[in-house]
Amino acid sequence: MTTPAASTASGNAPQRPYPAASSTARQITEQRRGAVRAVLRSLARTCQGRPPAQVHRVLRDALRPLGLRLPAAALHNLARDIAAGQPVELP
């Protein structure tokens, strides 16, 4: 019978209980980030020139289903930049 200390000493790394779970979580996180970036780019194109208050509401409503809730100040800054036609990215 091999003990965990003996298997580590012989050069074999101990097995992680669920290695697929962390890679799946990482993949889901990356997919959400990509979706948020795509939504932000789309809104930046379609909402350019609109009043910042309207852009703020659209941003908040579009990002909420994706699980992203930004602080009001960050959302306001994004909305202001989009309305002014400046390039934007997530804080």
- The answer, as to whether pTM is greater than 0.85, is no
Q: Could you write out the DSSP letters of every residue in 3-25?
A: -HHHHHHTTPPPPPS-HHHHHHH
pLDDT of residue 46: 94
Q: Does any domain span residue 6?
A: no
Q: How many domains does the chain fold into?
A: 1
Q: Does any domain span residue 15?
A: no
Q: Does any domain span residue 88?
A: yes
Q: Find the mean pLDDT for residues 48-73.
A: 92
Q: Which of 75, 3, 2 is nearest to 36 (CA)?
A: 75
Q: 5-33, pLDDT tens digit by residue?
A: 555 555 666 665 666 778 888 898 899 88
Structural domain including 91 reads 38-91
